[in-house]
Amino acid sequence: GTQHSPGVQPADLEEVVKKGVKTMVIGRGMSEALQVPPSTVDYLKKNGIDVVVLQTEKAVEEYNTLAAQGVRVGGVFHSTC
């Protein structure tokens, strides 16, 4: 049910946060149409989670790099737009 605007909301990330991730990678789509409001970034930071917001292809690369380094990383990726 996530729309481009207002974009990724804290509730969209709760399931991943509960898994104990230390870094969250958010892919905004191929053309970066998906919004990530400051309230979402603040929610993650308040939970002690580092946040990386990138264009989806770059976000996938970053996720894979972090996972290969053994970082407890979670991700949400908008695959279109």
| CATH number of the domain within which 24 lies | 3.40.1230.10
Indicate whether 2 belongs to any domain.
no
Give me the tens of pLDDT residue by residue for the chain, a chain 81 residues long: 566 778 999 999 999 999 999 999 999 999 999 999 999 999 999 999 999 999 999 999 999 999 999 999 999 999 887
Per the domain annotation, does 3 fall within a domain? no
Contact (CB, 8 A) for 28 and 53:
yes
Best CA proximity match to 71, nearest among 41, 56, 57, 50: 50
Q: Is the whole model's pTM more than 0.85, yes or no?
A: yes
Assess if residue 45 is contained within a domain.
yes
Burial of 37 (0-12, 13-18, 19+ CB in 10 A): middle
Amino acid letter, 72: R
- Tell me whether residue 4 is in a domain: no
Residue labelled with tokens 């898994």: 19
What's the number of domains the chain is made of? 1
Report residue 74 as tokens.
């979670």
42 domain-assigned = yes
In a domain, 5, yes or no: no
Residue ranges making up the domain that contains 62: 10-77
Neighbours of 46 (CB within 10 A): 9
Is 1 a domain residue? no
